Structure 1
Amino acid sequence: MSETKFKPVLGLWDATMIVAGSMIGSGIFIVSADIVRNVGSAGWLIAVWLITGFMTITAAVSYGELSGMFPKAGGQYVYLKEAYNPLVGFLYGWSFFAVIQTGTIAAVGVAFSKFTAYLVPGVSEDIVLLNLGFITISPAQLLSIATIILLTYINTRGVEGGKLIQTTLTATKLLSLFGLIIFGLVMMRSDVWNANWADAWKLQSLSREGSIGDYTTIAAFGAIAAAMVGSIFSSDAWNNVTFIAGEIKNPQKNIGLSLFLGTLIVTIVYVTANIMYTSVLPLQEIASAEKDRVAVSASHAIFGNIGTYIIAIMIMISTFGCNNGLILSGARVYYTMAKDGLFFKRAGHLNKFAVPQQALWVQCILASLWCLSGKYGDLLDMVSFVVVLFYMLTIVAIFILRKQRPDAVRPYKAFGYPFLPLIYITMGLSFCTLLIIYKPQYTWPGLIITLIGIPIYYFALQQKKAPNA
């Protein structure tokens, strides 16, 4: 007979490893190249990561209050539904399923394959196995799908297997990253460091070829917003732990604490990793790194030829662990939506291992299709805007719920309320506004995907009301 309830088997350490492990994928190893091309200086490179880190930690400690109020599966979907209405919650859940989570799983899966190709050239993304005209299929895409299917299967066998993978691989990649950072700082090249930091706060564009461009004052803000698309992508998924509240011991306390600890650890890793990059690589080499693989260039500078293989193994561990966390947690959102009659009905059932097996497999199918499409990278750039928009709406929900439900039990109150949440909302609005003005191609596709959810929502309501539905 199937279990009917989630098993609370994850402690504070496990929850913190899910936060950190879901955040650290391939981004920190790659996106700094694009950031440097946008901002053109070492100081602004670090500033972009600090701004993103501050926003992430601020949002995380604000979410602690909501997680304490609603300690159940679904996380952000539940918070938005409770504070606004079911439609707003559904639009988040729909965007999450359509692109945000499944697209991220695809991107991380393909990153795993790309770096596996350093060790096994036969799985390279440059090899074409099948060309159908409208789509080409490479061994890298097939390997990424295989890893997604494997991790999905493991997670259908109960949360304990996923927990073991998550804690082991996240601890391994944190230790590896700290090791790389320490080695890099010890091997610092003083001439490179001095050159990079000589004019650290001059904001300019820097092309792969080395040409430099100046910004007007207003365009400079647009450049910072464009640079932050990469750092926000690298810092996203910290909220995944809220989706699995039903499986966390003492969720009222441990979710908020794990959000703070996980985001703080990752922010420290990200900022120090970028300081390390500027200590071993000239800015021009960061901007022009082959396929944007800054970490490969840095590791090569530190360790010589073997450095490439060291980074390849680190990224394989990092991306495999990251996808495990994304797959484990994402399915709980669809489970909760199905319970509300707003997703495939079968996704709302738990199997004998007390996990939403059908929701896991539906997520697996769509993520695999994104792998085949090859368009996940473009989509993730396009949904950064929507992701931040939903984060802002969720933080505004704290103010709404304080007014609507002043007597509700709040085991944990948002740190720095109302100032820190207001700072996040202001920064988020600035980011979104600048993207609308300077990078509209990063905004409208994500909005269109989100708005497609409106007719789907009303169709789902009709189906729910229909007899024998």
Structure 2
Amino acid sequence: MKEKTEFKKELGLLNATSLVAGSMIGSGIFIVTAAMARDVGSAAWILVIWLVTGLLTMSAALSYGELAGMMPNAGGQYVYIQRAYGKLMSFLYGWTVFSVIQTGVIAAVAVAFANYTAVFIPELDKTLLEVGSYTINLKQVLAIVSIVLLTFINTKGVNSGKKIQLLFTVAKLFALFALIILGLYVGLQTDILSHNFENMWEASKTVLKEDGSLTVTKLSGIALLGAMGATIINSLFSSDAWNNVTFIAAEIKDPKKNIPRSLFLGTLIVTVIYILANLAYLALLPVGGSPEDASVLGKGIMFATDDRVGAAAANIILGNVGVFVMAGLIMVSTFGCNSGIILAGGRLFYAMSQDGLFFKQAGELNKNNVPEKALWFQCLWASVLCLSGKYGDLLTYATFASLLFYILTIYGIFILRKKEPNAERPYKAFGYPFVPILYIVMTSLICITLLIYDTRNTGLGLGIVLLGIPIYYFTQRKSE
């Protein structure tokens, strides 16, 4: 009960919803459609994958609402897992969040922010240190500076964090809607959209070989389902971090109502925006293209320079200045995204520390009623990942690991309904049991597909989770 008196309940429904939407929208929506186009090569199937992603995310969010209403405590998903499965499983979740999920995403988003800042300041590409194949450049330094700055702001109290979060979420939503409206207005005056949908269900996988040649393989049946199941990791990554609002439950006003509402509203807003953004891309750019072509239209969505589909779309709308406009938008988007992720993560590690499963100092609140030391632990490891250069690989591991824990958490609803039938449930999972079961089945199939089609990365993701088992028993023995 002590934590409820220490944390300040300063976040209303608007702040909670902005945290959900703001944490979800980073750099992914502006980039990943290029990889998806190469994997399935069809406008219709690209939109289907984004729609399925949105429905899965919303069904998970609606299911989480029941758990959030039952347990409106700091730590969110970590607390739900512990109540359903016990300490070991909750530690494995917390361990994975700290080692790759939260910190890996923070590092990757910060580096994306720095990469787009380099569009305005090319000197950031300068290499500071080179030892063999390992290099450190100014962009990595800027990424770390942005993480340190946002961590510092969030140590000043949840009020500071929520203002930054709301400001940047509103700014990027406004900019995204402008991109969508202008994109559709300009694009619909051409015949590109109709061309993209001429043979919209004909799927193919395009592979660019090292010698510059292309191989195109037609997809149908099981091969198509496999390709979709593998490439959906891209859209799922772009839609992740929606659960971060559960970590800060102790600071949300009327959490039993506002967390379920914010989960639904935030995921709904982002799902609609993502589908409309992809429609705008398809109205402005052909799906197919050539990597050798010098023009934006010639490269198409598949071979947009550095996969920057958003920048290519902005170039069609605004000309060369569009590159700078998009770079500015992604800077705002990534900075705001990291603000929310950094704010939320510290609360999970605080909850772990309270249970003796994390550094003891992380369980202390500062004079501003926030877990300052937990925030700095998170900052330190995320900064190390920025320097390692391995954050890109970590994202693949992290997204797969996230899916595993989403499945476990939602199955926890069934466990707790049986174990604690009389527990207070201010909100009950939407469509129970069908919607939660559908999510579990669909996401399990995606995980199996990923294990088959991307065995190395998903295997490493699973390995990171399992590495937590000996660490758990070692730390528990040491504390006895």
Shorter-normalised TM-score: what interval? over 0.9
2:347 matched residue in structure 1? 332
Alignment of 1:59-74 (within 5 A): 59-74=60-75
User: Separation in 2 of the partners of 1:214 and 1:373?
Assistant: 38
Contact 2:4 2:250 in 1 (8 A): no
1:137 matched residue in structure 2? 136
Task: Map Cα deviations across residues 34-62 of structure 1 (whole Å, 9 max, x no partner).
Answer: 01111101001111100100000000000
Contact 2:76 2:248 in 1 (8 A): yes
Q: Does 1:258 align with 2:273?
A: no
TM-score (norm 1): 0.97
Alignment of 1:32-47 (within 5 A): 32-47=33-48
State the 1:134 CA deviation. 5.3
Indicate the SS of the match to 1:129.
Answer: strand
2:357 matched residue in structure 1? 342
State the 1:3 CA deviation. 11
Gaps of 5+ in 1: none
2:153 matched residue in structure 1? 154
Indicate the SS of the match to 1:9.
Answer: coil
1:201 matched residue in structure 2? 201
The list of structure 1 runs, each at least 4 consecutive aligned residues, that deviate by more than 6 angstroms after superposition, is none
Evaluate the alpha carbon distance shift between residue 220 and residue 3 of structure 1 in structure 2; reply closer, same or farther with a 3 A threshold: closer
Gaps of 5+ in 2: 289-299
User: Separation in 2 of the partners of 1:202 and 1:433?
Assistant: 25
Q: What letter corresponds to residue 36 of structure 2 in structure 1?
A: I
* CA-based RMSD: 1.3
Q: What letter corresponds to residue 194 of structure 1 in structure 2?
A: S
User: Separation in 2 of the partners of 1:289 and 1:135?
Assistant: 27
User: Separation in 2 of the partners of 1:78 and 1:437?
Assistant: 32
User: Separation in 2 of the partners of 1:401 and 1:235?
Assistant: 27
Alignment of 1:210-289 (within 5 A): 211-215=215-219, 217-284=221-288, 285-289=300-304
TM-score (norm 2): 0.94
Evaluate the alpha carbon distance shift between residue 3 and residue 87 of structure 1 in structure 2; reply closer, same or farther with a 3 A threshold: closer
Task: Map Cα deviations across residues 308-365 of structure 1 (whole Å, 9 max, x no partner).
Answer: 1110110000000000000000011110000000000000000000000110000001
Indicate the SS of the match to 1:242.
Answer: helix
Q: Does 1:388 align with 2:395?
A: no
1:115 matched residue in structure 2? 116
State the 1:381 CA deviation. 1.2
Evaluate the alpha carbon distance shift between residue 4 and residue 249 of structure 1 in structure 2; reply closer, same or farther with a 3 A threshold: closer
Indicate the SS of the match to 2:301.
Answer: helix
Contact 1:74 1:336 in 2 (8 A): yes
2:467 matched residue in structure 1? 452
State the 1:305 CA deviation. 0.8
State the 1:227 CA deviation. 1.1
Indicate the SS of the match to 1:443.
Answer: helix
User: Separation in 2 of the partners of 1:183 and 1:263?
Assistant: 24
User: Separation in 2 of the partners of 1:339 and 1:204?
Assistant: 51
User: Separation in 1 of the partners of 2:202 and 2:71?
Assistant: 46
Indicate the SS of the match to 1:239.
Answer: helix
User: Separation in 1 of the partners of 2:161 and 2:72?
Assistant: 20
Moved more, 437-446 or 168-177: 437-446
Task: Map Cα deviations across residues 91-147 of structure 1 (whole Å, 9 max, x no partner).
Answer: 0000000000000000000000111111111113xx322102252001111100000
Task: Map Cα deviations across residues 201-254 of structure 1 (whole Å, 9 max, x no partner).
Answer: 112113456642123532222210121111011000000000000100000000
Evaluate the alpha carbon distance shift between residue 279 and residue 52 of structure 1 in structure 2; reply closer, same or farther with a 3 A threshold: same
Identical-pair percentage: 54
Contact 1:384 1:442 in 2 (8 A): no
Evaluate the alpha carbon distance shift between residue 443 and residue 383 of structure 1 in structure 2; reply closer, same or farther with a 3 A threshold: same
User: Separation in 1 of the partners of 2:264 and 2:281?
Assistant: 26
1:190 matched residue in structure 2? 190
Indicate the SS of the match to 2:170.
Answer: helix
Q: Does 1:17 align with 2:18?
A: yes
User: Separation in 2 of the partners of 1:397 and 1:337?
Assistant: 19
Contact 2:40 2:219 in 1 (8 A): no
Contact 1:18 1:241 in 2 (8 A): yes
Q: What letter corresponds to residue 206 of structure 1 in structure 2?
A: T
Evaluate the alpha carbon distance shift between residue 122 and residue 3 of structure 1 in structure 2; reply closer, same or farther with a 3 A threshold: farther
Q: What letter corresponds to residue 10 of structure 1 in structure 2?
A: L
Indicate the SS of the match to 1:347.
Answer: helix
2:294 matched residue in structure 1? none
Contact 1:26 1:318 in 2 (8 A): yes
State the 1:463 CA deviation. 2.6
Moved more, 331-340 or 216-225: 216-225
Residues paired across the two proteins, number: 462
1:77 matched residue in structure 2? 78
Evaluate the alpha carbon distance shift between residue 202 and residue 216 of structure 1 in structure 2; reply closer, same or farther with a 3 A threshold: closer
State the 1:13 CA deviation. 0.0
Q: What letter corresponds to residue 48 of structure 2 in structure 1?
A: A
Indicate the SS of the match to 1:436.
Answer: helix
2:93 matched residue in structure 1? 92
Q: Does 1:101 align with 2:105?
A: no
Q: What letter corresponds to residue 276 of structure 1 in structure 2?
A: A
User: Separation in 2 of the partners of 1:120 and 1:210?
Assistant: 34
